[in-house]
Amino acid sequence: GQTRMMGFNNIELISDRPIVDNLKEIAEVKRNYPKHAVIASLMVESKREAWHGMVKQTEDTGADGIELNFGCPHGMSERGMGSAVGQVPDYTCQIVEWVKEVATIPVIVKLTPNVTDITYIARAAVKGGADALSLINTINSIVGVDLSTFEPQPSVAGKSSHGGYCGPAVKPIALHLVSAVAADPSVKIPISGIGGIASWRDAAEFIALGAGSLQVCTAVMHYGFRIVEDLIDGLSNWMDERGHRTLADIRGRALSRVAKWEDLDLNYHLLAHIDQDKCIKCELCWTACEDGAHQAIRRLPRNNGGPVVEIIDEACVGCNLCAAVCPVQDCITMRKVPNDYAPVTWKEYAAGKGKLAPRSEQFHTATWSPSAKH
């Protein structure tokens, strides 16, 4: 059967191509597509004169902007480039300052996710004079081991190394880091979102969390350049349907809803509901709940073609695990449980403020039916 590609790992070094070839091709692309913006991505040894020379050569190609790649996690970092720079705020700031001394076109700094707190690096880039930020680069990874030879993969003469992981699997990490940088009041420059974008929905989510532009690589490698048209058409159609005239209408719209855990409402409770007409009787939900959650799903006898599982209302805590493992879309949905208690956060409750709604009261209310739609 078909398998879904979740991510790529690479340990190659495309930057080992002769610089003259890259410069020639950048100039050729700009010459052939003068109405399109061409951004050149650079990795240079950490010397002021080296950066000055590379920036000037790049500008001579007609490039519209340059991206300082401070994120590559393999190969280049061992040479004092890539993430070796992007993991140290002082290095990041210093090199951006060097570049800005000679650059006459916009300077974007590409950030690495392989840090404890990416906002420190973002602030350093801003301090150095960056015009924009792009994130994320690939994530340090080893994707597997050949158990017949015990060689990590991909193997190079029997050995391997950590590489850069990209693709749909890194999207949640990328969304988190983009939102963290976009929400930082110290960062007031444009953000280009990168990481696992493969559909118009992915694109919309990055924009909603603060990205002003997007970059796509893995999906193009997988599906070809045509996917760019699909992304644009899908996003445009969705915006028309929702009445959003420009990207500015949705940019950052989700940021205000990203909160610390301690600020979430403890009195907001959900209950799982199974649409028996859609259920295919695979019992994956029962297995997940029985072995990994709260034993809140009951197995029923398989007879007469009726239901084979049902929710035990008084045991369900609304963890969403059953819905996550269900292979049928919208077969299991989470429904809000109404109660008369005011919202209370953990921060408030820990300070002796507010009252938690007893679960027993919520699940034994004569005026509420678990099968009703709320």
What does the pLDDT look like over 333-348, one tens digit per residue? 999 999 899 999 999 9
Tokens of 174: 């990328």
Question: What is the C-alpha separation between 17 and 202, in angstroms, rounded?
Answer: 32
Question: Domains of the chain by range and CATH?
Answer: 8-257 (3.20.20.70), 262-363 (3.30.70.20)
Question: Is residue 288's pLDDT more than 60?
Answer: yes
DSSP state of 280: -
Helical segments of the chain, H only: 19-32, 48-60, 83-86, 89-102, 118-128, 171-183, 200-208, 218-223, 226-242, 284-292, 321-325, 346-350, 359-363
Q: Catalytic positions, please?
A: 72
Residue 1: predicted pLDDT? 45
3-state SS, residue 251: coil
- Please enumerate in sequence order all residues whose Cβ is within 8 A of that of 204, keeping only pairs 6 or more positions apart, or say none: 235, 238, 250
* Average pLDDT of span 217-231: 95
pLDDT tier at 4, thresholds 50, 70, 90: confident
Question: Is residue 74's pLDDT more than 90?
Answer: no
Q: Tell me how far apart the 2 most distant CA atoms of the chain are, in Å.
A: 80
* Average pLDDT of span 64-82: 67
> For the CA atoms of the chain, what is the radius of gyration?
25
* Average pLDDT of span 8-17: 74
pLDDT tier at 369, thresholds 50, 70, 90: very low
Question: What is the C-alpha separation between 186 and 225, in angstroms, rounded?
Answer: 36
- Please enumerate in sequence order all residues whose Cβ is within 8 A of that of 207, keeping only pairs 6 or more positions apart, or say none: 193, 214, 247, 250, 251
> pTM, whole model, 2 decimals?
0.88
Q: Which of 120, 107, 2, 104 is nearest to 44 (CA)?
A: 107
